Structure 1
Amino acid sequence: MRVSLSVLIGAAIAVLVPANIVQAATATTSFQVTATVLKFCTVVATPMAFGNYTSSTVSETTSEITVTCTNGTPYDIGLSAGTAAGATVTTRQMSGTTVTAARLNYFLYSDTGRTVNWGNTVGTDTVHITAGATPIISTVYGRVPAGQFVAPDAYLDTIAVTVTY
């Protein structure tokens, strides 16, 4: 049997060269990654407990307000007048829990000397702060003045803390 030279050369090439010659190729693209950081704040406060009061002495204590806001967010902390009828942000009143008409006056301040009233009008009597990377604790300084002759009772008030940002 005779095989032509061209058939032999063709067969040799077919064995040496793969049937599917694959060449590497790529295609690329890109995409954007975005996020929007919103201003956001949370607030918690500790109770303010004056303890036992006698009319012959001033009673003082503190509460802490912890505010956590998005870093760089300016905000104001305001304190309400409380829940007693007739109370104001300059003269707050605790109500008796048994003798509900009884009132015990007290005051809330933003400074250790207890001279700067803490109210709820932004830009007037609130505390202005700009948030950092960690929660900020603000101290509320309370005072019940001496000389109040009220009925023996447990006295109570609730202050609303408002963070405006």
Structure 2
Amino acid sequence: MKVYAGARLPILIGAVLCLGANAQAAVETDTMSVSATVTNQCSLVVGSGGLAFGTIDVNDGSNVADDASVDLTLTCSTADAASASIAVGGCSHLTGSQRRMANSGATAFVNYDLYSDNGRSTPIAVGGTLNPTLGDTHSAGAVVTIYGRVPSGQALSEGEYTDTVTITTTYEPAP
């Protein structure tokens, strides 16, 4: 029997197809567990730099108050909080009800006041409370601005002055 070279190709293709039809892929199936723990909490973040009055030039003769402000952002990990409050407590160098910054040796002080409005007409007392408008605190956060003022007319000594104010947030999670 004489076989032509062109006839081998169909025989070879047929043999490969027969082998492929009998081969089967192995399949393995397994499961994985998925879990999460959701905590209901809110965090309060004070804006970068805190309440920074910058340089107060006592030699400029203007005797003008120096102003500054800082944003506080309340963000909750779950759905909106039903209510929240931010208490602005005492500070490291408080004397009576007057907030003060002190130099490094606590031998000289700069008085300052905190306010809840840009016009600086509503003072925040020591332990005073701010009530932020909550809205969607989960995605964007509720922002509350604290306004500060170094009153004019103080006899100030040259130096760097700092203070630390305690800020506490209390919230009630949404049901």
TM-score (norm 2): 0.64
Gaps of 5+ in 2: 1-36
* 1:40 matches 2:41: yes
Choose the corresponding residue for 2:71, options 51, 64, 77.
Answer: 64
* 1:111 matches 2:96: no
Gaps of 5+ in 1: 1-35
Give secondary structure in 2 for the equivalent of 1:73. Answer: strand
Alignment of 1:1-165 (within 5 A): 39-46=40-47, 47-55=50-58, 56-69=63-76, 70-86=79-95, 88=97, 91-97=98-104, 99-119=105-125, 121=127, 125-133=128-136, 134-165=140-171
Give secondary structure in 2 for the equivalent of 1:132. Answer: coil
> Cα RMSD between the aligned structures?
2.3
CA distance in 2, matches of 1:64, 1:87: 26
Q: Confirm or deny: 8 A CA contact 1:81 1:87 kept in the other structure.
A: no
State the Cα deviation string for residues 107-143 of structure 1 (Å, max 9, x = none). Answer: 000111111122454xxx3111353223011111000
CA distance in 2, matches of 1:39, 1:130: 19
Flag the 1:38–1:119 CA change in 2: closer, same or farther, 3 A: farther
Residue identity in the other structure for 1:155: Y
Partner of 2:21: none
Aligned length: 125
TM-score (norm 1): 0.67
Deviation at 1:87? 5.3
State the Cα deviation string for residues 57-111 of structure 1 (Å, max 9, x = none). Answer: 21001011000134042011111221015253xx2100112x4221100000011
Flag the 1:130–1:139 CA change in 2: closer, same or farther, 3 A: closer
Residue identity in the other structure for 2:46: A
Larger radius of gyration: 1
CA distance in 2, matches of 1:139, 1:146: 22
CA distance in 2, matches of 1:164, 1:114: 25
CA distance in 2, matches of 1:147, 1:106: 12
CA distance in 1, matches of 2:96, 2:85: 22
